[in-house]
Structure 1
Amino acid sequence: MHERGPRVAVVGAGVAGLACARALADHGFDVTVFDKGRGPGGRTATRRVDPGLAFDHGAQYFTARHPDFARAVAAWLVRGVVAEWGGRVVKLEGGVATDTPPQPRYVGVPGMAAVAADLAATLAVRRATRVARAARTPAGWQVVDEAGGGAGPFDFLVAALPAPQAAELLAPHPFAAEAACTPMTPCWAVLLAFADRLDVPWDGAFVHGSPLSWVARNSSKPGRPGGADCWVLHAGAGWSAAHLEDSPDAVVPLLLYAFAAATGRTLPPVAYRAAHRWRYSLGADPAARTTLFDAAAGLAVCGDWLAGGRVEGAFLSGAAAAGRIVRAADGPVASAG
């Protein structure tokens, strides 16, 4: 055994990768996380424009159904990392709003990125580092970034990436082909701040019969800046795919028009507008295997796409990958599940 515990490289600092890294670090493993972004979180993202404007432009909220995730959420609640969002969430179709079944919905405070920040605390995270290649050598896993910088050897490699990116990184390992069989759909997000409050009697809506699939008054969430009426609009998968290569400037007016049509309202003057494209937003492994693991190679794959999507799925997938690695470090047993 190593003096500081087995070394693990985790590629991807979304919730899955961070949950895996956090669990391994707590078990004494020497973990390094690599991520192409400027900060951890993946799609649990918050964009702050100035002190008065903030937008959760990726994951909007999360629920907690599995006991393991519910325990994590309970701890976050106690420490103020998350809070329950009490906004009214409706189904919106033809301008008619119908209440959805009540359930606790949680958000990070002061933004969704707070969850990732908490998981990443004290971890060694190499930000703005896109891993281009990973190779298993007799000494262990070596990773190489786009700039040609190398790191390793590592006893274990964890690919905590969207399925298409995992497939690209892991080829020719058989897990690459398995990941390639799980397509992921895109999502265009539009970020809006209105000069006046939009007069609708709800705070979030699942939209039907529209280019939009979801809209939310971001400023209604706990811990958000007061003042501006901030909204996030998510386009549906089909519309996003059809407009995948459009410019943000082209997308914003189209989805603004769709928002006005869906609400049946004349929108207030827009004080701020922007768009963000999530190329890999949703995907689901048909077998719902939670994680893929090859003990002989020291390789794990995790992500929300392996566990039914959502923040909860990402967390459970990362935790499952960590569990496999902990057990393998004592006596390997392999494969997917």
Structure 2
Amino acid sequence: MPASRVLDDLLPRRGGPLPRVAVIGAGVSGLTLARVLAGAGFPVRVLDKGRGPGGRLSTRRDADGGTFDHGAQYFTARDPLFVAQVEAWVAQGLAAPWQGRIGTLEPGAVTPSAKESVRYVGVPGMNSVAKVLADGLDLRSGVRVERVSRDGKAWRLTSDSGEDLGLAEVVVAAVPAPQAVPLLAGAPALADQAKGARLSPCWAVMARFEAPVALALDGAFVKDSPLSWVAREASKPGRASGERWVLHGSPEYSAAHLEETPEEVAPKLLEAFAQALGTGVRAVEAVAHRWRFSMPSPPLDTRALYDAEAGLGACGDWCAGPRVEGAFLSGVALARRVVEGVRGP
């Protein structure tokens, strides 16, 4: 089955006039929601502040032509619907199992993991699956929605520069919970729920080395360190050769150093990598990126938020669980609720 058809055909297509839907955020949850509703016949528009779709399904290219997955590192699949979606991605060459050696790294010890669930990655980068989710959607990038205000029976969206972004009867905030709160002001109960979600930050360092790093693992959860995770990019399918690593700071370290500059953080996390390895490493290039809102800790106990009477909702991994699968299922859940709100239960 083509990758797009899993979501495009999920709900029966409905004719006749349907409410306009504006989705704020083009991460996995927002794109999933938009695909399901568009497939059901709804007029859907997606607005995102980034340069392209994906959110934390992000891939960056370095000066040497290699790539770094500096956001989400991989995804697993358990729910039958997400399993079907991943299988469709794999069949089309958009994703593949990551056969890397995974384990635990702590000062003086390397412990390979026992066999776990299959880990998948996008090919040739994690953003590949986001691009196919966005394909064919009415998506506008590079615009930040600042205000959602009532205008008759619809909602008027306004950008942070004051640009009028048009009207929609249904508005969904598919963004991190703290950013969703002001967008949900027209539904105070939902805004209060979103306020209860907590998301920890994450500093990510993209480092390139001339010499191979002496670690008998390709991905490692790091213990007793400012780091929480490290990954060898070339071990993932479809990547260019070269010694490139992504280093993720721990939630505690990232929060404590949240307002430092990338130039200050990069050498500190490189030093933490050397300490965890027990040997010196020297990067040819190291660039840090701050994810201010990364992992939900913990997520809300609901897959999505929606007020059918107001026509306002929110979705994301902070609702359904801190994984790509959680974001996907949150988008599907909210799409179903939007449709039910129009058709009746």
* Smaller-chain TM-score bracket: over 0.9
Aligned-residue CA RMSD (Å): 1.5
Q: Which runs of 5+ in 2 are unaligned?
A: 1-13
Tell me how far apart the structure 2 counterparts of residues 54 and 309 of structure 1 sit (CA, whole Å).
Answer: 24
Which runs of 4 or more aligned residues in structure 1 lie more than 3 Å from their structure 2 counterparts after TM superposition? 1-5, 284-287
**Match for 1:77 among 69, 87, 90?**
90
Q: Post-superposition shift, 1:3?
A: 5.6
What pairs up with 1:129-278 in 2 under 5 angstroms? 129-171=143-185, 173-174=187-188, 175-226=190-241, 228-267=242-281, 269-278=282-291
2:334 matched to which residue of 1? 321
Q: What percentage of residue pairs aligned between the two structures are identical?
A: 51
Q: Which runs of 5+ in 1 are unaligned?
A: none
Tell me how far apart the structure 2 counterparts of residues 329 and 206 of structure 1 sit (CA, whole Å).
Answer: 45
**Equivalent residue letter for 1:177:** D
The answer on 1:307 being equivalent to 2:320 is yes
Q: Post-superposition shift, 1:189?
A: 0.3
2:122 matched to which residue of 1? 108
Tell me how far apart the structure 2 counterparts of residues 293 and 155 of structure 1 sit (CA, whole Å).
Answer: 13
3-state SS in 2 of match to 1:206: strand
Q: Post-superposition shift, 1:291?
A: 0.3
**Match for 1:35 among 31, 37, 48?**
48
Tell me how far apart the structure 1 counterparts of residues 157 and 300 of structure 2 sit (CA, whole Å).
Answer: 29
3-state SS in 2 of match to 1:61: coil
**Equivalent residue letter for 2:179:** Q
> Compared with structure 1, are the counterparts of its residues 214 and 286 closer, same or farther at alpha carbon in structure 2 (3 Å cutoff)?
closer
**Equivalent residue letter for 2:247:** L
Q: Post-superposition shift, 1:161?
A: 0.8
The answer on 1:93 being equivalent to 2:106 is yes
Q: Check whether the contact 2:186–2:310 (CA below 8 A) recurs between aligned residues.
A: no
Tell me how far apart the structure 2 counterparts of residues 118 and 72 of structure 1 sit (CA, whole Å).
Answer: 12
> Compared with structure 1, are the counterparts of its residues 232 and 238 closer, same or farther at alpha carbon in structure 2 (3 Å cutoff)?
same
> Compared with structure 1, are the counterparts of its residues 4 and 220 closer, same or farther at alpha carbon in structure 2 (3 Å cutoff)?
farther
**Equivalent residue letter for 2:74:** Y
TM, length-normalised to structure 1: 0.94
2:11 matched to which residue of 1? none
**Equivalent residue letter for 1:305:** W
**Equivalent residue letter for 1:253:** P
TM, length-normalised to structure 2: 0.92
Q: Check whether the contact 2:184–2:312 (CA below 8 A) recurs between aligned residues.
A: no
Q: How many residue pairs were aligned?
A: 330
Tell me how far apart the structure 1 counterparts of residues 169 and 186 of structure 2 sit (CA, whole Å).
Answer: 19
Q: Check whether the contact 2:214–2:277 (CA below 8 A) recurs between aligned residues.
A: no
